[in-house]
Structure 1
Amino acid sequence: MPETKTATVVGAGMVGLATAWHLQERGVEVTVLDRRSVASGASWGNAGWLTPGMAMPLADPSLWAYGPKAMLDPDAALSVPFRFDRALWGFLARFMSHATPGQWRRAMAALTPIDRMALEAYDELEAGGVHATSYPSRWVVGFEREPESRPFVHELRGVAKAGQEIRLARVPDGVRVPHLSRAVRSTWTLEGQRYIEPGPYTQALATSVSARGAKVLTGAAVEDIRPVPGGVELAVSGHGRMRSDTVVIATGAWLPGLAEQFGVRTKVQAGRGYSFSVPVEGPPIDHPIYFPARRVACTPYQGRLRVAGTMEFRGPDEPFQEGRVRAMVNSVRALFEGVDLDSREDEWVGSRPVTPDGLPLVGRTTAPGVYVAGGHGMWGIVLGPATGRALATMITTGGTPEEIRPFDPLR
């Protein structure tokens, strides 16, 4: 295969920047383009969880019971607009077809190899000069009723059977966890995971990529990608036509707009998540908190607590829906003590790229020199660095690393 000396990465989120960083490690001259700014999509306001132990298929069998109830509950974490949208309802039909025990196990087996590399890939970035920190921490997982914990525990046992170490333990009855109310009657801890402040971390990665010689151009929308003799040409708003040996499309929920013409037919649906940060009375919370039955994830963030949740299936550029924030607040208000949910800052919505089968799209397209990296759903942050490393290896050697073999974007 021709040697890759230059590459253009379209998308300055965690996945795109990690791919750029690893291409630089292999001697490739890189340009990164983003139509907005660094971490302007799902990489800024998410929970920042580095939880390979929970990086599992989104479509699970419990959706058959939870989904219909959620459609009737305005405070439910799952939100689908009631309107005629053939593409959306077609996606949901395919998505639900994967919510079976057998499909879940197959997808979990496919995710496990890259899950197991996720934290080590972060260590590599930090040892290689990315000035940011991933924080090891215990996870506190709370439920209002003991039976609610059973699906979560069952899923983590499935993750363990697939080959990961899962250090999950029940907190003895009578032991109170600070800031959780008495309404939380079943509490667990999960060890061996980490978290980051995702926006600042992604910005630090962009700074490292730039310091090592890359051009990072923001406000640079890619209007067209076209294979040409000896490489790939891009039409870029405000920058004319650019050329490189290789192009990586890493545009998250917007991936189909550029990738469909190159044989990537798997539907990518925006699964929008919301977040905000709130103050905490007394000592700050120094560990993540998860309420699985409420689908709400909380993370320490710059002295406050970031509260994140919701899976809202809308278009990626639709307006912010204030009702989704109210729904999150309503769902967890009774579960906290000393957390001021009414003093919200940094209210945000971001679009996560969800595929029907729960597997990312990483690898070659039908066009020589054009690759994609996306479709990670809720797991773009935790799997981004490992994805970037594997894809950079594919681009520079021609081989397909085993950990991304199941993620063929032409499947």
Structure 2
Amino acid sequence: MNTPQSAIVVGAGIVGLSTAWHLQQRGLSVTVVDKVGPAAGASWGNAGWVTPGLVMPLAEPGAWKHALQSLTDPDAPLHVPLRFDPQLWKFLLRFAANMNARTWRQTMSALQPITTAVDESFAELKAHGIASPVIAAPYVAGFSSARAAAAFRTELEHLHAMGQSIGVSTLADGNRPAVFSDAVAHGLEISGQSYLDPGDFVWDVARAFKACGGQIMDGANVCSVDAGPSSASVTSDDGNRLTADVVVLATGALLPRLATRWGLRIGVQAGRGYSFTVDGDCLPAGPLYFPEQRVVCTPYQGALRIAGTMEFLDPDEPLNSARLESVARAVRPLLRGIDWPSRRDEWVGSRPITPDGLPVVGRLASDRIYAAGGHGMWGMVLGPATGKLLAEHIVTGAVPHQLAAFNPLRR
């Protein structure tokens, strides 16, 4: 195929818009198509963590204990519905098979190259006018026991030994966030990371893309993708058809609906996360993490965004208020000065999880159709780097070494 001159990107989240922007920078005419619009899915309600040093596989050794807990504890951080769903249980069996140290190390080695490209990818967007700030700040992890703090520190030191850019130190008493309650007895400070307002950042990328002539078509639900010898096309459920040289599918947890026909065989499952916003008297200077409860908190628009849980349900199912309450119950004893009745922006979003913990980024069974997804909880941090590397792949035909392990055609 000759160098493409035009592209359609399906999906207006951080991955899709980053890919569209980089394709545009390489001279392509690009149209983004989305059912709702920019930052309407997981790119809006997430915690906004830009943490290349913390990127790791979800299927970590010993994670099976959380799965067993989910079967008996309705407030467990992981929720797996007890229902007849062969596709989900097949996925979970494959996921469980990767919960071992050898596979974890292999997956970390495959992820590490793209994590080193994260800071540069955000800096490039900033240099080209993306004004929404990426704020450098130490992360503070809080624990109720010294044993839990020591175990988490060992995990962080292991990440550092694997090549991740991360620093960890015991939290000094003078640096203890005032929002911590007395139930938080121990703390660790994690350096070298940043955070952002995810919705604002993605909208800023969309504005920059449109300012350079890009087109965003919202309200268009793409129901089919086709490719021929000279072009590719997408058709929405209202019958509208768009044609370009290449199509990129960046639809998050919905990726299999369009990509399975084009060779996607590895399962992509919706791992739904929940968040809400509350006001407080003494908000922290940076993000907080409670590993024992699997809950995160991020400064957000003068308030605090609280997020957590992993729920394996279909992306189209409505918000489960019981899961939202479980996040609130888990974190309430750990924080002081929070105005809990101010809770708002209650949200659920679907993160695209793969059983082997690796994204799916690259060409599908047609040289005119590409996939970009499967980042799990790391879509925000890896999205700009993914977009840059995939644009390079599409334009040059060569696979960047950072994407070598992310082949969408793998099984």
In structure 2, distance between residues paired with 1:123 and 1:276: 29
Distance in 1 between residues matched to 2:149 and 2:86, nearest whole Å? 35
TM-score, normalised with respect to structure 2: 0.97
Q: Between 125-134 and 256-265, report the one with greater CA deviation.
A: 125-134
Cα separation, 1, equivalents of 2:130 and 2:35 = 23
SS at match of 2:339: coil
Aligned: 1:45 with 2:42: no
Deviation at 1:59, TM superposition (A): 0.5
Structure 1 position 338 matched with structure 2 position 362 = no
Determine whether 1:252 maps to 2:252.
yes
Structure 1 pair 238–356 and aligned structure 2 pair: CA distance change class (3 A): same
Tell me what 1:385 maps to: 384
What is the alpha-carbon distance in structure 2 between the residues aligned to residue 93 and residue 340 of structure 1? 41
- 1:152: how far off? 2.2
Backbone CA RMSD of aligned residues? 1.3
Q: Which residue of 1 aligns with 2:144?
A: 144
Deviation at 1:237, TM superposition (A): 3.5
Alignment of 1:309-388 (within 5 A): 309-388=308-387
Give the distance between the partners of 1:226 and 1:277, measured in 2 at CA.
Answer: 41
Q: Which residue of 1 aligns with 2:286?
A: 287
For 1:202-213, what aligned pairs fall within 5 Å after superposition? 202-213=202-213
Matching residue of 1:130: 130
Q: Look up the equivalent residue of 2:365 and give its one-letter code.
A: T
- Native 8 Å contact 1:141 1:291 kept in 2: yes
| 1:400 partner letter | V
In the TM superposition, what is the alpha-carbon distance from 1:339 to its structure 2 partner? 1.5
Alpha-carbon distance in structure 2 between the residues aligned to 1:9 and 1:146: 48
Q: Distance in 1 between matches of 2:27 and 2:324?
A: 45
What SS does the aligned partner of 2:289 have? strand
Is 171-180 or 346-355 further displaced after alignment? 171-180
2-structure distance, mates of 1:77, 1:166: 25
CA distance in 1, matches of 2:154, 2:387: 31
Is the CA contact 1:220–1:239 (under 8 Å) kept in the aligned structure 2? no
Q: Find the aligned partners of 1:183 and 1:173 in 2 and give their Cα distance.
A: 15
Once the two structures are TM-superposed, the CA of residue 130 in structure 1 deviates from its matched residue by: 1.6
Alpha-carbon distance, 1:238 to partner: 4.0
Deviations 1:210-245 (A, max 9, x none): 111011000111121111231102212446211100
Opposite residue 116 of structure 1, the aligned amino acid is T
Report the secondary structure of 2:18's partner residue.
helix
SS of structure 2 residue aligned to 1:344:
strand
Task: Measure, in 1, the Cα distance between the counterparts of 2:253 and 2:302.
Answer: 30
Gaps of 5+ in 1: none
Letter in 1 for 2:49: W
Moved more, 77-86 or 41-50: 77-86
* AA aligned opposite 1:21: W
Offset, 1:269: 0.4
1:263 match: 263
Flag structure 2 segments of 5+ consecutive residues without an equivalent: none
Query: 1:196 aligns to what?
Result: 196
Deviation at 1:119, TM superposition (A): 1.7
SS of residue matched to 2:193: strand
Structure 1: how far apart are the matches of 2:15 and 2:293?
28
**1:154 Cα deviation from its structure 2 partner:** 2.7
Give aligned pairs, total: 410
Q: Which residues in structure 2 correspond to 1:17-96 (within 5 Å)?
A: 17-96=17-96
Aligned-partner residue type, residue 125 of structure 2: L
User: What's the counterpart of residue 277 of structure 1?
Assistant: 277
What is the DSSP-based 3-state SS (H/G/I as helix, E as strand, rest coil) of the residue aligned with 2:90?
A: helix
Matched residue of 1:126: which SS? helix
1:119 and 1:77 map into 2 onto residues whose CA distance is: 30
Q: TM-score, normalised by structure 1?
A: 0.97
Alignment partner of 2:318: what SS? Answer: coil
Q: Percent identity, please.
A: 48
Please name the residue that 2:97 is paired with.
97
Determine the C-alpha separation between the residues in 1 that align with 2:103 and 2:367: 32
Matches within 5 A, 1:158-237: 158-172=158-172, 176-237=176-237
Whether contact under 8 Å (1:71, 1:78) holds in the other structure is no
Structure 1 counterpart of 2:299: 300
Matches of 1:27 and 1:238, distance apart in 2: 30
The residue type equivalent to 2:372 in the other structure is: A
* Contact 2:129–2:208 (8 Å) recurs in 1: yes
- Cα deviation for residue 362 of structure 1 reads 0.2
